[in-house]
Amino acid sequence: MERRLLYAAAAAVVVVAVSLFMAYQFFTATQFKPSIEIQPVPMPDIKLVDQHGREFNLQSVEGKPVFLFFGYSNCPDICPLTLLKYSYVMKNLGDQADDIAFIFITQDPWRDTPEALRIWVSRFDDRIIALTGTPEQLAKIWKAYNVPSYYTDEKGNKVEDPAEYARSGKPYFVVHMSFVLVADRDHILRFALSSEMSQEEYLAAARYILSR
C-alpha cells in the first residue's frame, strides 16, 4: 500500500512539473512583444544551395516559421554571436527546434563554399541551414531583402573586387546588417531581432512565432 502511495505521489509530482513547464512556455510565448516590428510582407523566394550542396528554396521549409540572418563565416563578431544564439534557441526548444527553419545566407560567396559553410555551421548546430550560391544569384537576394553588401580591407578602405582578394588570400571584411528577420508559418515577415538582444529574448521570440 505504501509503495502504491509513493508511486502515485511521484506521478503527481511529474504531472505538476510538466504542467508548470507548459504553462511557463505558454506564458513566455504570449508575453513576448516584438520590439522591432516590420511591414508584413511575403518573403522573397530564395533559390540557393545549402552546406551539403543540396538545392534550397522556401518550399523546402514550407509551413515553418523562419529565422533569417545574412553574414559571412569569416566574420569576427556578429555572425558567430548570432549563430550561438541560434544554437541556444534550438537546444532549449528541444523537439520544437525542428519546427523552425534557422537560416544563414552568406554575403561572401567567394570564400563561403558549401564545404566551408558546413565546417563553420557544425561548430554551432548542424541543423542550421547555411546557404550560398554564385555572386549573381546572391546579389539578387540581397537586393530583394534590402541587405547592404560593402567590403573593406584591414584598414577600412573599400574593396572594389572581393573576388580578387579571395583569390589572392588577402583578408577583407563584409559590412553587413546585424538583424535576424523573423517570418511566420506562411513566410510573412513580421519582426526583427537585433544582435544586441539576449539569447533569452531570441528564445522567447521563437516560442512566440511558433504560437502564432
DSSP 158: B
pLDDT digits (tens, 9 = 90+) for 131-164: 999 999 999 999 999 998 899 999 999 999 999 9
Q: In sequence order, what are the residues at sequence separation of 6 or more whose Cβ sits closer than 8 angstroms to the Cβ of residue 189? A: 38, 39, 40, 41, 42, 43, 181, 182, 183
Instruction: Indicate if 10 and 62 belong to the same structural domain.
Output: no
Residue 85 sits in the same domain as residue 145: yes
CA 134 to chain centre: 21
For the segment 166-207, what is each residue's pLDDT rounded down to a tens digit?
Answer: 999 999 999 988 899 999 999 999 999 998 999 999 999 999
pLDDT score recorded for residue 32: 85
The domain of 106 spans 35-211
- Identify whether residues 50 and 64 lie together within a single domain: yes
C-alpha to C-alpha distances, 135 to 108, 162, 168, 173, nearest whole angstrom: 8, 11, 18, 16
Return the pLDDT at 30: 52
**What is the number of structural domains in the chain?**
2
Q: Are residues 13 and 72 in the same domain?
A: no
Indicate whether 71 and 135 sit together in one domain.
yes
Residues 47 and 151 in one domain: yes
**Cβ-proximal residues to 183 (8 Å cutoff; 6+ apart), any chain:** 43, 65, 66, 68, 189, 190, 209
195 vs 51: which has the higher pLDDT: 51
Tell me: do 50 and 145 sit in the same domain.
yes
Q: Are residues 207 and 117 in the same domain?
A: yes
Q: Do 57 and 85 fall into the same domain?
A: yes
Whether residues 86 and 107 fall in one domain = yes
